[in-house]
Each structure stands twice: as structure tokens, then as C-alpha cells.
Amino acid sequence: KVLASSSARAKIVKQLMTSAKRTGLDGINVDFESMTEEAVPHFLEFLRELSIECRERGLTLSVDNPPPQNYTKYYNRKEQASVVDYVVIMGYDEHYNGSEEAGSVASLPWVIEGVEDTLKEVPAEKIIHGIPLYTRLWKTSAGIVTSEAISMPQAQEVIEVHKVETYWNKEVHQNYGKYEEGNDVYEIWLEDADSIAEKVKLVPKYGLAGVAEWKLGFEDPGIWSVINENLSTK
């Protein structure tokens, strides 16, 4: 309803510009999720209107999108890219809270598919590759699968406390670990220096604009050097 109203869109844009000036922002990142097909034309109009104001003020405008799937094809990433500076791929949540089976948050083949499918609609120089700084600790109890999102340091703590032996899974390109407590089975697909390096290497490989992360505060401090080292071709 908000996006369909020109006056509501104008009010949002005005508020954003006021906040940007007050706080000295470099740019604005737009993240509208779970949009209906009916809402997308209004969303695109919102991006057009916002982009005009951002350009006048020298603000960088980016918009987040999940990796292309059948249920998000109507997002019209091509049109988004025509009005914003960058399209950010949220390259995570392959398996999420509520998934019926345990699995990686962002296996490399799934991530690559998301990048390549986005490239069909968006120029490489406008794509920012979003990577996860979190993982999920999966628990299977009496056939019921649940999970919780944990940070990189928390994941390492789980490995150490439970003395979990991990191994490099070549299919997902991540270190994987499994342990049991009573009748419960725990699994984890780690996001660590090894897996992050593999994901960041996609930026120079495909000529993408850069990398983004979700979310700040979940990282191991050393991961920034890993990201920097793998952002350029050698």
C-alpha cells in the first residue's frame, strides 16, 4: 500500500534525504524482501524517484536482491540496475530457519548459480556479491530439524567445546562437522577463512563491483584480511 502511493513514496524519499544530510551518509541501501508481483512496479518507481534525489546529492544507491529463483523472477533486476548504482546479491539463506533439512547457508555451487543468473540481467560492474559472516548450527531430534544462526567465533567455540572433527567438503566448498549428544545429532557447515576466500574469489573471476557482508559483528576479526587478499586477481 505504501509503495503504491505516490505521496507516501515522496514522503519516504524526503525523510531519507533529510537523514542522509544530517548524518553525512555516503549512500543508501534498499532492502525490501518478500515482495509480491503486484508490488514490484511500484517498487521500481520508488527506486527511480529515490535515484534522482541520490544523484543530485552524490549519494550511492544500492538495492538488495535474493539470488534469482522461480519465485523472484518478477523482481525485474534489469530495470533495477538501470536506475541504481549497484545491485547487491544476498548470497545466503540457501538453507534457513524453517528448512526441512539441514544444510549450508551458502554452498559454493549455489552461490555461483546466483551470480551467473544475476549476470543475465545485471552488468557485472553493477553487481555486489553479498556473503554470509554467519552459519547455522543444526539439530536433528526425533526426526525434527531445527537451527540457530551463530557467528563465526561462536561456531569455532562449538567446534572446540564439543571436540568436533571437521573435514573439507568438496561439494559445498566448506568445512563440515557433526557430533551427537544423547539422541540428538548436530551438524554445521562452517563459514570460515577457507569458505569465505572461495566466495570472494568470485568477485575478480566474474568482474563484479565488490563484496558486501551480512552481518557486521558476526565476523572473526581476521576475516577482513582474507577478504582483501582475495578481492583482486593475482
Mean pLDDT for the stretch of residues 22-32? 97
Exposure b/e, 109-120, CB count within 10 A at least 16 = b: ebbbbbbebbbe
233 pLDDT above the threshold of 80: no
Q: What confidence category does residue 234 fall into, taking pLDDT thresholds of 50, 70 and 90?
A: low
pTM of this structure: 0.96
Q: For all residues of the chain together, what is the average pLDDT?
A: 97
Contacts of 234 (CB under 8 A, 6+ apart): none
2 pLDDT above the threshold of 90: yes
Mean pLDDT for the stretch of residues 16-25? 98
Exposure b/e, 41-74, CB count within 10 A at least 16 = b: ebbbebbebbbebbeeeebebbbbbbbbeeebee
As a whole number of angstroms, the distance between CA 147 and CA 137 comes to: 5
pLDDT of residue 56: 97
pLDDT tens digits, 202-213 = 999 999 999 999
- Please list the residues that pair with 184 across neighbouring strands: 181
pLDDT tens digits, 87-129 = 999 999 999 999 999 999 999 999 999 999 999 999 999 999 9
